Structure 1
């Protein structure tokens, strides 16, 4: 029996809504067991009442952190120190950082340098350096049914159109390079191989574009031809297909 991956979940309670904890844990369950669950913040603050109500229900350990210096984020510092301690004292396979704060970018890069995966969860305001540093990053607005009160619920999960997808130069380059890297002798790339290649290369999740499956996102771009062989889907760039003579 294959041993399940061990994950440490570190939550910046100041920058992560308590209403999303269930979907965060549900997502992490796809990758392994969340053995360590800690939420950081000043628990004397009224702003963390929402978190206090779910700590016991989801077996999350609250870590008290006072704001010793005005204007400095003591919570971030405490999380970083604990993360490094866990990295070297516990046998873990991955970390999860739940925050929308870019201060954790160097920490994520350090953890990944040790060969561990880092899953990130944050709101759409999360700076791109932190998003790109993670092995996989998911916007909280795309998880679950509820959306933040100040946002339009429909907009939170709206699919990007083919025009929007084609206009995303980074996405187009990422997909085309992945397909090209995974081509077999017949000039087709298995979707499973393409997905693995992308995951190994950068932080990516099709749900951030409004699509449940990678195949749905790729189909929506209109950039690739698809061929199904039994239960497996294969792709090739439409630019490489030679036009038949008139």
Structure 2
């Protein structure tokens, strides 16, 4: 696999270490719960938008508890990675969160298999670098990681995002340090000389019957770059091609 880092990577684990999802009641999604495919299709661009570039090809929307495994407050990075995996190899089921933890535990990443039984204590959060390690082990596809020092520098990186959607078309895993909520980027556009990213939120808890319900509940939003946390760094994990699953850990 080829790993392309645009600038030197930071060693800190960045993204989902303070994820939170407030809900009014418990949800138990059936393992047969039908995940929404291509949720961006039909979602309107902002008024007066231009230079719209979007994800291409098929993928599914993974979110908290969507497979009945309770990952609230720590699993957003894994869910974004499952969405990316469903794009990379739409014929295979992405690794479960348990399987991803097993893969990482075998790589001396600091994440232990004991997290499977005690995850609320050990907090096996992952960021884009751990996501890269999983994609490398499971699919052996080339990826790029773009490091953005602050939202002020985002505009300098937008040409790379446009190039990615034009050439690869894959969803993007976006992580940060101070902004520790994992995000899935499905598109980019320009509104009044300011760029917006189309953000798919992995923190939703519940059952979605269709895209329109997901839209109403705010699962997909066009977010101005200026609204990202100005004190945070950001990393973008970009798969460069489709692939086939080559490894799944023993159950």
Q: TM (normalized to structure 1)?
A: 0.25
**Higher-Rg member (1/2):** 1
Which one scores higher on RCO, CA 8 angstroms, separation ≥ 6? 2
Structure with greater helix percent:
1
